[in-house]
């Protein structure tokens, strides 16, 4: 069922004033009663009406229940732990329920309550409702934004277009790598690994999310060393490489670290934006002169459970609102938890029309190597993404330069419609990658 087509605002209510949230819910309560409780809890009300909750306040500020759609399936237990005695909700029997109702709720939130502020938006649509003891499963499935709300956001400043302009690459996917090992490298050693990757043909390299500005590898020195190495590689190959330096830190430090990268010749920054927070990403996006590569560590704690949190689609929309230029979307045929279909939803959400909010460049990462290039191109179906390898480059049997070259060779072969095993007969780096890493995925 397409719940969006069933959506109607109550008569006299202007849709531009509301953000619409869609939830999956399990509860022993009647679904309509549960929907009313959610709407009250997340706007004007609490468990009992208070004196200043006037009809006038409700008309302007209360959430609206605009759809309740039961799912006819049997749920016989609470998916989430609860300290509430569920029997309290059934005073006639004093017995805990043995069956639970499940369904889809559509709730309209008046954005006058929180304005164009992502922290406050999340407090409304994904805040205390997760704590409700009688909600034994609740997941935010989607958010729909009116133009009046989107007008309050800038979105990505550089995105796909800006990234490609810096690199001068327009007609193919971008290939990249994550420096490995993740931590423990000196600036000199890390720069050497970046040089080897760039020599092998990488368009993009990034810090691992575990390194930012440690004493043993301070950011300013790392930027200088890495950019010197990449400039050397560019003189030798004629190709530019982008490097994303991790500037994750306290909110009051992030802009200063961005400026260190920019002033020392860096051409991209990276933010662990889930742990830093959407408001920090937005602050950085409105300040930046460089593309922001958004790494999503901690994200699965919010999205992975089917019973709580939010979907990856919601997360991707919020990331675009906040200003993600490049956004991790998961791994096609990789090592992460999402199915390929879920990854493709993330990719699509990065680039689909979002009114005045520009597209984010999708990033595929997690267990990638040369042999995963064909399946990525086939399933994604277009060229606007970055394919990131870690060990797929830096654990290549013949070293990082050969590892980078193997991925580039795989891309060249795939774009020409040649099977990798055939192309590898005349390209040693690709042949050695296949020997070292396993079966090619088509």
Active site residues: 180, 295
Residue 75 carries which DSSP code?
B
> Residue 441's closest CA among 342, 364, 344, 374?
374
**255-259: long-range contacts, CB 8 A cutoff, minimum separation 24:** 255/283, 255/284, 255/287, 257/212, 257/213, 257/219, 258/284, 258/287, 258/288, 258/290
* Rounded-to-integer distance, Cα 42 and Cα 132, Å: 11
> Residue 82's closest CA among 103, 97, 104, 65?
97
CA 422 to chain centre: 36
* Rounded-to-integer distance, Cα 321 and Cα 116, Å: 10
Residue 251 has a CB neighbour count (10 Å cut-off) of: 12
* Rounded-to-integer distance, Cα 309 and Cα 303, Å: 5
What is the sign, positive or negative, of the torsion defined by CA atoms of 33, 39, 42, 43? negative
Q: What is the CA radius of gyration of the chain?
A: 25
């Amino acid at each position: 069922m397409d719940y969006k087509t069933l959506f109607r605002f109550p008569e006299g209510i202007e849709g531009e004033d509301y953000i619409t949230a869609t939830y999956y819910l399990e509860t022993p309560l009647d679904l309509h009663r549960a929907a009313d409780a959610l709407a009250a809890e997340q706007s004007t009300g609490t468990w009992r009406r208070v004196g200043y909750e006037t009809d006038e306040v409700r008309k302007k500020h209360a959430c609206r229940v605009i759809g309740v759609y039961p799912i006819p399936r049997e749920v016989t237990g609470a998916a989430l732990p609860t300290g509430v005695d569920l029997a309290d909700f059934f005073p006639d029997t004093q017995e805990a329920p043995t069956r639970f109702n499940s369904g889809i709720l559509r709730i309209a939130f008046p954005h006058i309550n929180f304005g164009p502020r992502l922290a406050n938006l999340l407090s409304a649509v994904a805040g205390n409702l997760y704590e409700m003891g009688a909600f034994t499963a609740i997941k935010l499935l989607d958010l729909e934004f009116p133009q009046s709300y989107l007008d309050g956001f800038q979105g990505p400043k550089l995105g796909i277009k800006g990234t490609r302009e810096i690199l001068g690459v327009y007609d193919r996917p971008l290939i990249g790598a994550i420096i490995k090992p993740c931590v423990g490298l000196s600036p000199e050693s890390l720069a050497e690994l970046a040089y080897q990757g760039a020599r092998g043909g990488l368009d993009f390299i990034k810090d691992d999310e575990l390194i930012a500005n440690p004493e043993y590898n301070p950011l300013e020195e790392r930027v200088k060393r890495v950019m010197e190495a990449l400039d050397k590689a560019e003189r030798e190959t004629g190709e530019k490489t982008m490097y994303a330096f991790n500037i994750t830190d306290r909110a009051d430090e992030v802009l200063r670290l961005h400026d260190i990268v920019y002033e020392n010749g860096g051409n991209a920054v990276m933010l662990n934006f889930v742990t830093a927070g959407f408001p920090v990403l937005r602050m950085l996006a409105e300040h930046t002169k460089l593309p922001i590569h958004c790494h999503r560590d901690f994200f699965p704690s919010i999205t992975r459970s089917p019973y709580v949190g939010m979907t990856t689609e919601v997360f991707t929309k919020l990331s675009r609102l906040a200003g993600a230029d490049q956004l991790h979307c998961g791994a096609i045929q990789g090592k992460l938890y999402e199915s390929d279909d879920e990854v493709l939803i993330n990719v699509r959400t990065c680039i689909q029309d979002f009114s005045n909010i520009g597209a984010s460049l999708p990033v595929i990462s997690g267990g990638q190597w040369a042999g995963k290039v064909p399946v990525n191109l086939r399933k994604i179906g277009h060229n606007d993404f970055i394919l990131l390898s870690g060990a797929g480059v830096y654990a290549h049997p013949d070293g990082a330069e050969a590892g980078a070259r193997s991925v580039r060779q795989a891309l060249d072969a795939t774009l020409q419609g040649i099977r990798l095993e055939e192309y590898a007969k005349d390209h040693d780096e690709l042949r050695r990658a296949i020997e070292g890493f396993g079966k090619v995925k088509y």
